[in-house]
Chain A
Amino acid sequence: MVNSAVSKIKVDPRDAKLSMAHFYVAFIALALGGLMGLLQTLVRSGKYELPGGIGYYQILTVHGVMMGLVLTTFFIMGFQYAAVSRTAGTHSNAARRTGWIGFWTMTAGTAMAATMVLLNKASVLYTFYAPLQAHWIFYLGLTLVVVGSWIDGAAQIMTYAKWRKNNPGKPSPLLSFMAVINTVLWIVATLGVAATVLFQLLPWSLGLVDTVDVLVSRTLFWYFGHPLVYFWLLPAYMCWYTIIPKIIGGKIFSDSLARLSFILFLLFSIPVGFHHQLTEPGIDPAWKFFQVVLTFMVVIPSLMTAFSLFATFERYGRSKGATGLFGWFKVLPWGDARFTVPFIGMASFIPAGAGGIINASNQMDQVVHNTIWITGHFHLTAATSVVLTFFGISYWLIPHLTGRKLTKAMNKLGIIQGWVWFIGMVFMSGAMHFEGLLGGPRRSAFSTYGGAKQAAEWIPYQIAQAVGGSILFLGIILVLIIFINLAFFAPKGEEEFPVGEAENPQESAPMVFENWKLWLGITAALILFAYTIPFIDIIQNAPPGSKGFKTW
């Protein structure tokens, strides 16, 4: 028992290699996507024009695809693959081979989609809404990314299933359980995007059919698009729930609470896509209302998470002798990048979550829909809470996998990076939120809109976004310096893969949490209930389909 526990403390080098392969792709995407982000904010300031006739919408597509789809998916799969190996045991040869096949399929798909975007054949933004029509190779590439991620995820499920078989009647390791929940969430969610790409967009872009049903494709996209953001978020929650307590020297507040909140995310993050389509005609308002109610259910696991994290911090602080209502806050390890960088991410989730509740409220969506407020919102959720946590994870995971050490100098640079990001984001996302409330549109290049007075009010905010974007780009350069150092140059040594323990180890999680038939059954029932009737309605009352448009 002791031996097997010790042998699992380090991720097996063969598994480490596959995880690192994912991270190389993820950080290349970060470099490329980050540069495009900087250029976008400069263009929108009105003080800079792109050279050589490069289009704004092309770089916007590169930014969205690289950051939203490539960086996230590759990082998450690499992280979860290592987390399962660390907590449920080294992957079998079969599982590892499966993982490699998944990785190469995703990489090939990414290369195909990226090539088409760079050739300006697919400037359809990362949401690739019909009737904007990209080259068919772009859609085929995206299909391979999704299929590759299924194969990649299967490797994690195989190792989890092996652990369950070898340990009957025992709850699985928390981190592995969470990774599998997220993989299952991803598989169920991507069925929607796979359906629209395979049955609508590919035949249409190949010229096999002339027209596309726009509302069906958007509905399938948002069936996928909302759980997509939870697929980004849950790995950050894995770090907050299970890794941060170990880093600060505390305990996980409750293992069962963590599992329950992940199950609630699985149930309630999928049948809610209509809240992205509140202003869309053609969907019955009663069904929009129903999905908005389900959307608000996600507040429950989110606040459970907030409570649990505050409790972990307070318990730890009080054990260190902190007194008073907030004395525990001061004794947290602010000099440790592995804690501070994800903590900035956690704190950013407070305004991010509050903004999300506004977006999902039908009336308030009229105020913010299609404004740059939304862009500001997901730069707080995905581009701060999620990616700062991912950076915080890589500051110990990369050296752990490459057999190196996070040096004092790199730790310090990591903390600086976190604060630089925070300052840049206050400027950029803050200005986006305010400009959005004044009606400033998202997804648009610089324009004075024929000298309109209202548009003139937006320009100072766009300059603030360029300032923020420049600071954020500096943050990206710092991340890349740290990544390259930790992957290739940091001194050899042993860096810990921290995994927290529950405060009360006697209290083992109820086995009902591992009852997949039950949870998948409820997930399917909720999805069928929320989508079947409106889908029939959308298809039966469809307007004529649309031919493809290329606006670039």
Chain B
Amino acid sequence: MAKAELKTKHKTEIEDSSSLKGTLASVFLLGFFIIITWVSVYYLFVERF
């Protein structure tokens, strides 16, 4: 029983340290930044031409 408990705990730890949640969030932020700048200049184009 105790052994099984230890195993579970160990597994959770590995999952956490290999998490790439921050990477996913960062790439999404990067994507949003690209879209926002692109759309802003697109509006300048639509307004001027």
List residues 14-49 of chain B with CB under 8 A from any CB of chain A: 16-23, 25-27, 30-31, 33-34, 37-38, 41-42, 44-45, 48-49
User: Is A364 an interface residue when CB atoms closer than 8 A count as contact?
Assistant: yes
Q: Are B30 and A306 in contact (CB under 8 A)?
A: yes
- With A357-B34, A368-B41 already in contact, the answer to whether A314 and B20 are too (CB < 8 A) is yes
Give the distance to chain B from A472, nearest Cβ to Cβ, in Å.
23
Residues in A whose Cβ lies below 8 Å from that of B48 = 367
Task: Report A-chain residues with C-beta under 8 Å of the C-beta of B21.
Answer: 325
Q: Is the CB of B22 within 8 A of A363?
A: no
Chain B residues in 8 Å Cβ range of A319 = 17
* B22 with A354: CB separation less than 8 A: no
Chain B residue contacts of A327, Cβ below 8 A: 22
Docked-complex contact A355 and B37, CB < 8 angstroms? yes
In the bound assembly, the distance between CA atoms of A358 and B42 in angstroms comes to: 8
Which of these, B19, B23, B30, B41, contacts A358 with CB under 8 Å? B41
CB contact list, A471-506 vs B, under 8 A: none
A310-B22, A310-B26, A314-B23 known; A366+B45 contact, CB < 8 A: yes
Given contact pairs A350-B33, A355-B37, A367 touches B20 in the complex (Cβ within 8 A) = no
Nearest-Cβ distance from residue B6 to partner chain A, whole angstroms: 20
Does A353 reach chain B (CB closer than 8 Å)? Answer: yes
Taking the closest CB of chain A, its distance from the CB of B33, in whole angstroms, is 6
How close is B19's CB to chain A, nearest CB, in angstroms? 7
A315 at interface, CB cutoff 8 A: yes
Q: Which of B17, B21, B25 has the most CB of A within 10 A?
A: B17
The answer, yes or no, to whether A307 is at the interface (CB within 8 Å) is yes
Judge if A328 is at the interface, Cβ distance under 8 Å.
Answer: yes
Q: How many A-B pairs with Cβ below 8 Å?
A: 71
A363 touches which one: B23, B26, B42 (CB < 8 A)?
B42
**In chain A, residues 381-435, which have Cβ atoms closer than 8 Å to a Cβ of chain B?**
none
User: Among A310, A357, A368, which residue has its beta carbon within 8 angstroms of that of B23?
Assistant: A310
Contact indicator per residue, chain A 297-328, by CB within 8 Å of chain B (1) or not (0): 00000010011001100110111000011111
Q: A314-B22, A325-B21 are in contact. Are A358 and B38 (CB under 8 A)?
A: yes
Q: Is A200 an interface residue (CB 8 A)?
A: no
With contact pairs A357-B34, A366-B49 given, residues A311 and B42 touching in the complex (Cβ less than 8 Å) = no
Say how far B35's CB is from chain A's closest CB, in angstroms: 9
Residue A21 is within 8 A (CB to CB) of chain B in the complex: no
Minimum C-beta distance from B39 to chain A (A): 10
Residue of B nearest to A439 (CB): B48
Q: Is the CB of B34 within 8 A of A353?
A: yes
Chain B residues contacting A355 (CB-CB under 8 Å) are 37
Give the chain A neighbours of B26 by CB distance below 8 A.
306, 310, 326
Instruction: Produce 1/0 per residue, A515-530, CB < 8 A to B.
Output: 0000000000000000
Chain B residues, CB < 8 A from A318: 16-19
Residues of A close to B27: CB separation below 8 A: 303, 306-307, 310
Q: Flag if A325 contacts B22 (CB, 8 Å).
A: yes
1/0 per residue B4-19: CB within 8 Å of A? 0000000000001111
A437 contacts the other chain (Cβ, under 8 Å)?
yes
Q: Which interface residue of A325, A355, A368 has the most chain B CB atoms within 10 A?
A: A325
* Contact A354-B37, Cβ < 8 Å, known A306-B30, A314-B20: yes
Nearest Cβ on chain A to B42's Cβ, whole angstroms: 6
A105 to B13, CA, bound (A): 58
CB pair A437 B38 closer than 8 Å: no
Question: Of all chain B residues, which has the CB nearest A373?
Answer: B41
Tell me, in angstroms, the Cα distance from A364 to B44 when the chains sit together. Answer: 8
The CA of A361 and the CA of B44, in the complex, are separated in Å by 13
5 pairs from A and B in contact (CB 8 Å cutoff): A314-B23, A315-B20, A318-B16, A327-B22, A367-B44
Given A354-B34, A366-B49, 15 additional A-B pairs, CB 8 A: A303-B27, A303-B30, A306-B30, A310-B22, A314-B19, A314-B20, A315-B18, A318-B16, A318-B18, A319-B17, A326-B22, A354-B33, A354-B37, A358-B37, A364-B44
